[in-house]
Homo-oligomer: A and B are copies of this chain.
Amino acid sequence: MKRRYKMQIAYDGTPFSGWQRQPHSTSIQELIEKALTILLKEPISITGSGRTDQGVHARGQVAHFDTSTPIEHIPTLLVSLAALLPPQIRIQTLEMVQSTFHARYGAKKKTYHYHIWTNPIQCPFQFPYTYHVYTPLDMDLMAQAAKKLSGTHDFTSYCNQGEGKNNVRTIYRIDFALTSDGFVVQIEGNGFLYKMCRNLVGTLLAVGKGKISLDDVEKILSKRDRKAAPAAVPPHGLTLEQVIY
């Protein structure tokens, strides 16, 4: 009898080709599947809550898998997984769940954090995880733009490769949390289109730099055209923090 397991995963995305398994490059999904296949002695495939791009990090990615191998002691399996996986990937929790649980279709809410450093001199320990912005930013304007982007909209303009699909999503909140050397853009939504977070942050920064106006933000949304919106920010500032079911 197969049993379903849910796991929470943290990873530093820097050295990998992204979450999703693909030929000719090393994905996070593939490495976890290989480790589980060795330890559970049967072919294991895992289903994540969604992809993360090359260079994007996670503290709270969630995935599930089915296995007919009984897992007798979960802490021991976690330590064995840590021994087989590169140190940039760690399975943090594992629990048996009902067979109706689905990491992707059951995800109700996701939180992404985008880390921005605004001090002129960046910290050597933060550079792999934060995007350095040199130009001054109007945080008040950015907060107003964030309000315009929150809510239920067709986010086609903020989605790469999104033509002809249902691109309506709900953003519950976009908050700015100040840090000692910059800030974190916290984005919570019911789902995110391809590159949507990085496109949204790119637009918020364009507003903060005075390159586009608050009116432009609404116009871009209504155009439903990716080419209407400013460029995306780079992947290394982004972390998938939490997936809620």
**4 smallest A-B Cβ distances: which pairs?**
A87-B127, A12-B124, A88-B124, A90-B124
Are B87 and A121 in contact (CB-based, < 8 A)? Answer: no
| Interface set of A (CB-CB < 8 Å, partner B) | 10-12, 57, 75, 78-79, 82, 87-92, 120-125, 127, 129
Are B88 and A121 in contact (CB-based, < 8 A)? Answer: no
Are A92 and B121 in contact (CB-based, < 8 A)? Answer: yes
Cα–Cα distance between A34 and B156 once the two chains are bound (Å): 48
A122 contacts across to B, CB distance below 8 A: 82, 87, 90
- Copies of this chain, complex-wide, total 2
A92 contacts across to B, CB distance below 8 A: 121
Cα–Cα distance between A127 and B87 once the two chains are bound (Å): 7
5 pairs of residues in contact across A and B, judged by CB atoms under 8 Å: A10-B125, A12-B124, A12-B125, A78-B121, A92-B121
Cβ-closest chain B residue relative to A127: B87
Cα–Cα distance between A57 and B125 once the two chains are bound (Å): 9
Identify A125's interface contact among B78, B91, B124, B129, CB under 8 A. B129
- Can you add 15 more A-B contacts, CB < 8 Å, to A10-B124, A78-B121? A10-B123, A10-B125, A12-B124, A12-B125, A57-B125, A79-B120, A79-B121, A82-B120, A82-B121, A82-B122, A87-B124, A87-B127, A88-B124, A89-B124, A90-B124
